[in-house]
Structure 1
C-alpha cells in the first residue's frame, strides 16, 4: 500500500493555512498542520488533523517540529508550505529597528531556517515541493505596509535564487502571491501596532487617525477579495502539477500589479498605487 503524500504547513490557526490543511487532508494528503499556539493545535487535532506547535521566531521550536516530522514519517517529507507571517502597519519613518528585527524573524528568517532543515530530507528522497506564500506586496510596495512588504520582497528574492539553485535536484520551488483574502491579518496586526508604533508622536499623526479606523473596524469585504480556497486551488497546482509554474497569482489586483510593475514608469506606478 502506497503511503499518502506528506506536507508540513505553517500558520494553520486560521485563513490560508487552515483552508489548505483541511483541503489537502480531505484530498488524501498526510498533513502536518502547525500553529504557534498549542490551543490552536488542539482544535486541529479535534478535527482529525496531525498538529503540533511551530513558532518561526524560535529556533528550538523549528528544530523540534522538524524532528517531529522525521519521527512520524521515518525521515521523508513530500512538501513544505511556508504560509505563516504577520503584519504591522505604520509609516516607514515610524518603524523602530526592534519591530523590523522581530517581523523579519518570523516572516523571513524563520521561514528560511525551516526550509533549510527540510531540504536535506527532500534531497535524500530525490523529490519535493517547497511553496512559499508571498503577496501582492512582494511585487509592489503600498503605503503603511512597509514592514510587511520588506519581508515579502526579501522572501521573493530568496525564493527566486533557491528555485534556480534547486534545478536538477528534483525539488521544485514555487511562489504563491495572493492579493486581498479574508484572513485575520488585520486583527492580528493590532497588538504589534500598539506595541511598536508611536503614532501620536508621529509627524503623520493626523493621517494615522484614518488608518486607525480601518485597523480597528471591519470595513467589510474588499471588492476584489477572494476566499482562502482560491489560494488553496493554486497550491494544489503547485503541489500536483508535473511541472509547476514558478509563480501563481491569486486575485485580480495581483495580476494587475504584476503587469503594471513591468510596463509602467515608476512614478506612474506610484500614482496608481496611491490612488488605490
Structure 2
C-alpha cells in the first residue's frame, strides 16, 4: 500500500514539485495551498488539494481533518514546507511583521505538527519532515525575521525528535541552500510592503537586496532545482532509519562545516561577504 503524505505550501516551488513527483511515483499525496485560486492546477493533475492557511489555526485544524478524510484516516507522512521570507534589517522590522513571519513559518507548523504527532501516536508510526534552511544553521544580514523563524524551527524540531525517541515516529529536517522557486519574488513583495526603505539607515544596502530579489536568474552560485530537495525528501520518507538532518546544495554543506570549525568572529566576516 502506498504511503499517504500531506504537504503544505504546494502552490509553487518545492511544494508543487514534490507533490507532483510523489504523485507520479505512486504515493497518496494530499497537497495544501493557502490561496483558493491555486486549487485548479491540482484538479487537473489528479492530486487531492485542500485549503490550509498556516496563519489561521482554525484553517489548520479543518485542513488536517480534511486530509485525514482523504487518506481514510491513515496519514503516514507530514512534510511541512509552506513558508516565506521577510527581508529587512532587524532595526527596521516592525514587531508585528516579525510576528507574522513566525505565525506562518513557526507557530502554524507547530499546530499542524502537534495534530500529526497525536494521530501518529495513535497509529503507532509516522514521519514528520520539516523543510528548514541553511539560514537555520547560520545567519545572514537583512534576513533576521527568516533567520529567527528557522533557528526556532531547528530547536523545536531537535527537541521533538528527542521526545519521540523510542516511538516509531521519525523526525527529520531538510536544510536547503538556494533553490529555484518563487521565494525571492515573494520576499521582494514582503520587503516592499513592510519595510520603510527610503527612510532607513540601510537604504543603500537595501537597493542591492532589491536587485538580488528582482533578478530574473538565480543570483547565487550553486543554485539547484527543487528535485534536489525531492531526493532528500524521498530518503526521509522511505529509509528504514531516516536521518535527523539532510543538507541540500553546496552552501549548506560548506556553512555547516564552517560553523563547526571557525570562531564566531571569523565566520561573521565570511558571512558578511555573502550578504
Shorter-chain TM band:
over 0.9
Equivalent residues in 2 for 1:113-128 (5 A)? Answer: 113-128=111-126
In structure 2, the residue matched to 1:240 is: 238
CA distance in 2: counterparts of 1:220 and 1:72, whole angstroms: 37
Tell me how far apart the structure 1 counterparts of residues 66 and 192 of structure 2 sit (CA, whole Å).
35
Mapped partners of 1:163, 1:172: distance in 2: 7
Aligned residues: 274
CA contact (8 A) 2:188 2:210 kept: no
Indicate the residue corresponding to 2:195 in structure 1.
197
Show the 5 A alignment for 1:37-186.
Answer: 37-186=35-184
Cα offsets for 1:142-179 (capped at 9, x unmatched):
01111111000000000000000111120000000000
Superposed CA deviations along residues 9-38 of structure 1, whole A, max 9, x for unmatched, are 000111111111011111111000111111
1:35 touches 1:53 (CA, 8 Å); kept in 2? yes
Tell me by how many angstroms 1:212 deviates: 2.1
Relative to structure 2, which stretch is displaced further, 94-103 or 62-71?
A: 62-71
Unpaired runs of 5+ residues, structure 2, are none
Report the Cα distance in structure 2 between the residues aligned to 1:220 and 1:148, rounded to whole angstroms.
19
Q: Separation in 1 of the partners of 2:149 and 2:196?
A: 21
Q: Flag the 1:119–1:220 CA change in 2: closer, same or farther, 3 A.
A: closer
In 1, distance between residues paired with 2:37 and 2:233? Answer: 26
- State how far apart, in whole Å, the 2-side matches of 1:191 and 1:234 are: 29
Instruction: Provide, for residues 31-71 of structure 1, a one-character-per-residue CA deviation record: whole Å limited to 9, x for no partner.
Output: 00111111112111111111111110011110111110222
- Inter-partner Cα distance in structure 2 for 1:181 and 1:206: 26
Q: Which runs of 5+ in 1 are unaligned?
A: none
- Other-structure match for 1:15: 13
Of residues 162-171 and 69-78 in structure 1, the stretch that sits farther from structure 2 once superposed is 69-78
Normalising by structure 1, what TM-score? Answer: 0.96
**Which whole-Å deviations, capped at 9, do the CAs of 1:80-117 have from their partners, x for residues lacking one?**
00000001111111111011010100000000100011
Using the size of structure 2 for normalisation, the TM-score is 0.97
SS at match of 2:130: strand
Moved over 4 A (4+): none
Name the structure 1 match of 2:267: 269
Separation of aligned partners in 1, 2:116 and 2:109: 11
CA RMSD of aligned residues (A): 1.1
Q: Distance in 1 between matches of 2:162 and 2:218?
A: 40
- Distance in 1 (CA, whole Å) between partners of 2:28 and 2:74 is 12
The answer as to whether partners of 2:13 and 2:182 remain within 8 angstroms in 1 is yes
